[in-house]
């Protein structure tokens, strides 16, 4: 016959569990009283960290909004090239580290190129912090290669474009970098290498169903093949 547990009396295991819980609660309360200062410092430290993080995030967002607004105003400004360059240089220094600063560097690098200052254009393009697999970083790589070519350093420009093609995120960016490299190869009279590149990217563009882009490459490919025939005849 199964013994019944008298009503109002709990099993020993339950009582032991409750006793352990009570003892743990009293021990925690006792430790807290003995270490009250440490507990308060810890709570205060966490609060300061949370508040500081929130402040930093809000501050960064405010800076980015201000930087974007100022850059939009610069783009709309009808200033002469030298004034625009000076304003962009000041902007980059003021908002260094923001996303808009890299966009401003692109404009500044382009303006240096347009005013025949290839060394400065290359320096500014190199300062773009955004990685090359992102649109701003990719554009900076294209500008860097253009500046190197303008500075009559075709070898460096080719290396930049080859690295850019390998690291580009999208196929059309890879083709753009390869096409630029092929154009430089033509100026160096390395026509066979250029033909190989144009043939490859034309096929890739056709597979991507970008017929307009493929048509441009096919047209250039035909011109180069004609030049090769003339050179070998």
* Cβ atoms within 10 Å, residue 109: 29
DSSP letters of 10-30? --HHHHHHHHHHHHHHHHHHH
Tens digits of per-residue pLDDT, 140-152? 999 999 999 999 9
What pTM value is reported for the model?
0.68
Tens digits of per-residue pLDDT, 82-105? 888 888 898 888 888 777 888 889
State the average pLDDT for the chain: 78
Question: Which residues touch 141 (CB under 8 Å, ≥6 apart)?
Answer: 125, 132, 160, 161, 163, 164, 177
* Cβ atoms within 10 Å, residue 164: 25
Confidence band of 66 (pLDDT split at 50, 70, 90): low
Tens digits of per-residue pLDDT, 156-182? 999 999 999 998 889 999 999 999 999
* Ranges 19-23, 44-48, 51-55, 76-80: which has the least confidence: 51-55
167 neighbors 133 (Cβ within 8 angstroms) = yes
Q: What is the rounded distance in angstroms from the CA atom of residue 47 to the CA atom of residue 25?
A: 25
95 neighbors 105 (Cβ within 8 angstroms) = no
């Amino acid at each position: 016959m199964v013994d019944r547990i008298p009503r109002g009396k709990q099993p020993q295991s339950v009582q032991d569990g409750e006793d352990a819980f009570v003892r743990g609660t009293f021990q925690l309360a006792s430790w807290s009283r003995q270490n009250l200062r440490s507990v308060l410092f810890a709570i205060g430290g966490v609060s300061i960290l949370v508040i500081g993080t929130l402040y930093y995030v809000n501050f960064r967002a405010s800076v980015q909004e201000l930087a974007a607004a100022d850059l939009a105003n610069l783009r709309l400004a009808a200033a002469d090239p030298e004034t625009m360059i000076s304003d962009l240089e000041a902007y980059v220094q003021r908002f260094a580290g923001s996303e808009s600063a890299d966009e401003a560097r692109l404009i500044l690098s382009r303006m240096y190129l347009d005013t025949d200052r290839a060394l400065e254009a290359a320096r500014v393009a190199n300062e773009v912090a955004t990685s090359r697999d992102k649109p701003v970083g990719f554009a900076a790589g294209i500008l860097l290669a253009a500046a190197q070519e303008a500075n009559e350093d075709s070898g460096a420009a080719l290396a930049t474009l080859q690295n850019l093609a390998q690291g580009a995120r999208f196929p059309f960016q890879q083709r753009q970098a390869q096409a630029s490299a092929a154009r430089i190869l033509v100026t160096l009279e390395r026509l066979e290498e250029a033909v190989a590149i144009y043939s490859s990217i034309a096929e890739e563009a056709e597979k991507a169903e970008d017929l307009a882009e493929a048509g441009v490459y096919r047209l250039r490919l035909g011109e180069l093949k004609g030049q090769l025939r003339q050179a070998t005849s």
